[in-house]
Structure formats: structure tokens, C-alpha cells
Amino acid sequence: MLSIQELIRKKRDGVALTDEDVRTFIQAVTQKTIQECQTGAMLMAIWQKGMNITETVTLTREMMSSGEVLSWPKEWEGLVVDKHSTGGVGDKVSLVLAPALAACGCKVPMISGRGLAHTGGTLDKLESIPGFNINQSAAQILKILTSVGCCIVGQTERLVPADRVLYALRDATSTVDSLPLITGSIISKKGAESLTALVLDVKFGRAALYKDLDSAKELAQSLVSAGNGLGIRTGAVLSCMDGTIGRCVGNSLEVMESLEALKGRGPDDLMELVTTLGGLLLMMTGLVSDQSEGKKKISDAVIGGAALSKFQAMMEAQGVANETARTLCSAHTKDYSALRRSEHQMELKTSAEGVVQDVDGLVLAEVLHKLGAGRSKAGEPVNHSVGAELLVSVGQRVKKGVSWLRLHYESPAPTPDQIDRLKNALTLGTDARTQQTLVKELLLPHNTI
């Protein structure tokens, strides 16, 4: 067995690591028998020299095996599914998709994250609902899945401990953007959920981690290969992320929009992602014969109210008071008073007449981040009430002086510079425009049923 120094040298010199080499490294990380500087050196060597697919799959498997791996009843075989998104502006897909999948007969143990980017992650959104508890043990997850069919929870202490160590050091050593390290981090956590099928929403564009389709596709292919390498049927959707998903950005506002979607009033772009990702998962489990049947089944679960009932049951199972959950999920009302509303609102007006050509989602997200909707460091609080509502959509003709954005803020108030940035995020023109579809390409698993 090679020493840690020899392993670092081997990777530094561009030699592929064997399965045993990778195992030695991950076990040393997990058991804390490696110096932090050595872990950092290995991460930098991987960043510089890369890993082939065999190394990446082994890295992912060893990370997954570094802690507890969830197990499920035999009768759930073939039904346990999840999705992962690389992150977008206003990305509330999980809040609609998880209950829709549960309504279609799947089991969805969605282990999610907090946002480190512009605005909160899925867990931050859910924590804007009073009483919602994202901390659930493996036994509690099993109980919720048995009764409801879906849960959305945080990573437990015992799941993939190697990832927690590596994730923190990747940030400190500027190795976050390494393809094998991103792949290992994402897929090891999903592997620990013992999934049948996994769908990945890999985003590209102005407001995404990857700015162009080709680099996003490279990540998608790496993730799909690693997932399939672990025995999970894994597919990916490549979707465009230039603007926002839906019309609301910010934690409480996104919960409201998700509930509106679950009541059958969701924006087209959000529902496109929900039905595409869900349809693909239903096809991969064999519950439907093709993707169009899967999309229809997901759509019916949302429009018919079955997904809304599952969301209400999930809220109650995860600590929300029955009365609160019932009021939020009342199909015929829009009573969202249980969700915190910001102390101040401000509306921005159009500076000219024209057709809405574009709204820059990245600018919106960056300003909201500064106003408290997101965090810069793990553990920092977020202000759930901070956010923005788009009052116009691409292709809409507007007159001068019409409100196009409602900003929700508390302290700090937006600076004149931030208000200017927001004003410049709107592009008006004379050309007729139609809302483009977000999904550009699908990568199917190697072994779909």
C-alpha cells in the first residue's frame, strides 16, 4: 500500500490512481489520519491532472461508503428516486417535483443543501415555513417516506462524512471547479440514498455555474457516468439559466410561487422543468413506457391536486402545525400570511415603452444576495423575507412608467447603485419575442428499462 506522500506524487505526475489508492486516500480523510495540508495537496493534484472515469467512479463510491448508506424495504425496490440541480435563480423545482413524484407512487428521500450562492438553497426555502424541520434521522426519513412518500431534509452527520471534509477544503484551496471532485461530491450523497433512479438538472447560461452548453454537457456526462457506475439509473437534463425560473426569487416568495404551482397555477417555465425531470424519472423506473406519458402523469398529479396533498402531508410530517399546513395548501385561497413578509416593498418602473426582451437573472440574484437573501459563508443566517417578484414576462409589451419589479427588503435597504443595477437588468426593445423553452438537451442513462 502506498503512503499518502506517494499517492500525492503519483497523481501530481499524472498517473491514474488504482482503486486501492483512492480507498487509502478517502479512508485517511474519514479517519483523520492525514494532515490537512496533504488533503489540500491531493485536491490540487486532482484539480490539475484530472481523473479518468474509473478513478472518478471509485472516488465517488469510496466517498459514499465513508458513512451510513440508507436502506429501504424490499417492496420499494425500483421506486426510490431523486433529482439534483446544479443551481439556478428562483430554482424551486424540488418543492413541486418531490410531492408530484410521491403522488405518482415513487419514494423520494430528497437530501438537499443550503444555498452558498446568490439566494437560499432548497432547505432555506422550506425553513421559511414556520415549524418546518429539515433535520431528520434515518429512522424518521423511513417513517415519513412510508406515510407520505417524500421528504426534503438536510444531510445527516452520518451520511458521506468524507464529503464534508473535502467540501470545506475545496473551498479553501480553490479546487471547487474540478470535474471529478464536483462529481464525487454530488453523486456520493445521492448514492448514500440507495436510489433506483436519479435525474440531474445541469444548468448553463448567464446565471449558472457553467456559462455555455458544452462545459455544462461535460459535467452532465461525468455525473451520468458516475451515477450509472454506482448502479443508479442516471439521466440528465441540460437547461438554460439566463433569467429566472418563474417570477419569484427569494425564500418565502419562492415557497408562495411553489404553492401556487401545486394549486395548478404555476408559470410555464417552472412546469416545463417539473414535468420534464419528473417524466424522465418515471420512465427510468419503468412506471411509464415513455417520457411523454411520464410528463402527462406528473402534470396530472399537479393539476389534479394530488401533489398539493402530498406537500401538505410532508409539511405536517416535518413539524409544521396542521392548521398552518392546511391554510397554506387551501386550493381556493391565497392565504400566505403564515410566511414572513418583508417590512418594505419598492416597485421599479419601466423607463420607456417597448417589448420585454430580457431580464438578467444574475444581476437580480447578486443584488438580493447583498440584501440578505443568501449567504457568503456556511452557517450564516439568511433573511427569508427578502426577494423580488417579476411583474412582467419576456415578450410582453409594456408602456413607460409601468411597474416591472417588486423588491422586498428589510435591512440593509438597497443602495442607489443597486437600484441602478436592477433597472439595467431589464432590456426593452421593438422586436416581438416569445418565451423560449428552457430544456435544450436530454442525456439518457446507459441502461433505461
Positions marked catalytic: 84, 163, 170, 185, 189
* CA distance linking residue 326 with residue 312, whole number of Å: 7
C-alpha cell at 437: 423553452
C-alpha cell at 188: 456520493
* CA distance linking residue 216 with residue 194, whole number of Å: 26
* CA distance linking residue 307 with residue 281, whole number of Å: 16
**Partner residues linked to 346 by β-bridges:** 407
Check if the beta carbon of residue 371 is closer than 8 Å to that of residue 412: yes
Q: Strand 354-359 relative to strand 426-429: parallel, antiparallel, unpaired? A: antiparallel
* CA distance linking residue 300 with residue 228, whole number of Å: 29
C-alpha cell at 146: 412510508
C-alpha cell at 140: 424518521
* CA distance linking residue 44 with residue 62, whole number of Å: 19
C-alpha cell at 200: 440531474
* CA distance linking residue 444 with residue 448, whole number of Å: 7
Torsion of CA 321, 325, 327, 330, to 10 degrees: -160
Burial (CB < 10 A; 0-12, 13-18, 19+), residue 150, is buried
End-to-end CA distance of the chain: 40
Q: Is the peptide bond before 412 cis (omega within 30 degrees of 0)?
A: yes
